[in-house]
Structure 1
Amino acid sequence: MAEPAEPQFFPPPPPPQPKSRNTTRIVLIVVAIVVAVCCVGGAGLGFLLFRSVSEAVGPARDAGTRYVADLDAGNWSAANAQTCAATRRLMTEQEFVAGQEAGPKATGYELTGTNVGNYNGRQTATITIEVSYPGGDVRTVQIPMVHEGGQWRPCP
């Protein structure tokens, strides 16, 4: 009789390879770098935009603040000296002072806004002032500004 054949044993198949986490890690690192670059770039552009707007508005706002401070203090001669050449040609200092003293007496002046623009390569600015009167009345006045001799001047 023939001897039974020895059973053949095959080695078990190798265990399945675990999924590589390197691909996931690389994708996450790339995404993190892209997000970081976007955030830093956005913050940098925001800062540059803020700085350029501040540099454009700052001098006009400062000139408006000085003008309003002189009006608020009743220093009419100093306020007149800050106005543009066209306003000073239209009226003398005495006429400016007389006009300020003749009108209704304001109880306060406050600069509430400054707008600077560029129109066909020419810079323009406007200041907004709130003028308070007795009895609580408040009037909003917008005064154009002109850039003369390297500085902003109110041109009412």
Structure 2
Amino acid sequence: MLIVVGVVLVLCCGGAGVGGFFLYKGVKGATDPARQAAESFVTDLEAGDTDGAYGQLCSQTRGRYARDAFARGVAQQPKIRGHKVNGVNVSTVNGRTSATVNMALTLDSGFTDQHTFLLVKEDGAWRVCGQPY
């Protein structure tokens, strides 16, 4: 009897572990592309590549900011020296997939700014949307 209980316990724990692994892989697979897009955008800003960063904006945001106005706006902001992703959330509402990526941006002043980047999926790619920086 004790052996049967032990086998059932091992199977349950093993099933929970395998299920947890696949849940983790599913969430990571859904959030990694959005995280990578936001990190690519911030990496371009860190490098001073405003053209590269501008190319990663969604069409709605590019419509609000001309390329030169975006570059001037970035130049007026404190320079980003480093970043760390603190969280990613992906959701689909009414068929529209969007994400928020929360980052700690280390600025040249030494101050760390908590910033949330909004992203939308546009033509199969994640794009930074809204107030970019």
The residue that corresponds to 2:70 in the other structure is 96
Q: 2:79 aligns with which of 106, 127, 145?
A: 106
**Which deviates more from structure 2 when the two are superposed, residues 130-139 or residues 81-90?**
130-139
Partner deviation per Cα, 1:54-80 (whole Å, 9 max, x = no partner): 111011011111111101111111000
The residue that corresponds to 1:63 in the other structure is 37
The residue that corresponds to 1:123 in the other structure is 97
Question: SS at the partner of 2:79?
Answer: coil
Question: SS at the partner of 2:55?
Answer: helix
What TM-score do the two structures reach when normalised by structure 1? 0.75
Cα distance in 1, alignment partners of residues 32 and 119 from structure 2: 13
Indicate how the Cα distance of structure 1 residues 135 and 91 shifts in structure 2: closer, same or farther if over 3 A, else same: closer
What TM-score do the two structures reach when normalised by structure 2? 0.87
The residue that corresponds to 2:24 in the other structure is 50
Is it true that 1:83 corresponds to 2:57 in the alignment?
yes
Cα distance in 2, alignment partners of residues 104 and 152 from structure 1: 24
The residue that corresponds to 1:149 in the other structure is 123
Which blocks of at least 5 consecutive residues in structure 2 are unaligned? none
What amino acid sits opposite 1:91 in the alignment? Y
Cα distance in 2, alignment partners of residues 53 and 107 from structure 1: 29
- Displacement after TM superposition at 1:120 (Å): 4.4
Would the aligned equivalents of 1:116 and 1:124 in 2 still touch at CA under 8 Å?
Answer: yes
- Structure number with higher strand proportion: 2
**Which deviates more from structure 2 when the two are superposed, residues 134-143 or residues 33-42?**
134-143
Which blocks of at least 5 consecutive residues in structure 1 are unaligned? 1-26
Equivalenced residues, count? 129
The residue that corresponds to 2:14 in the other structure is 40
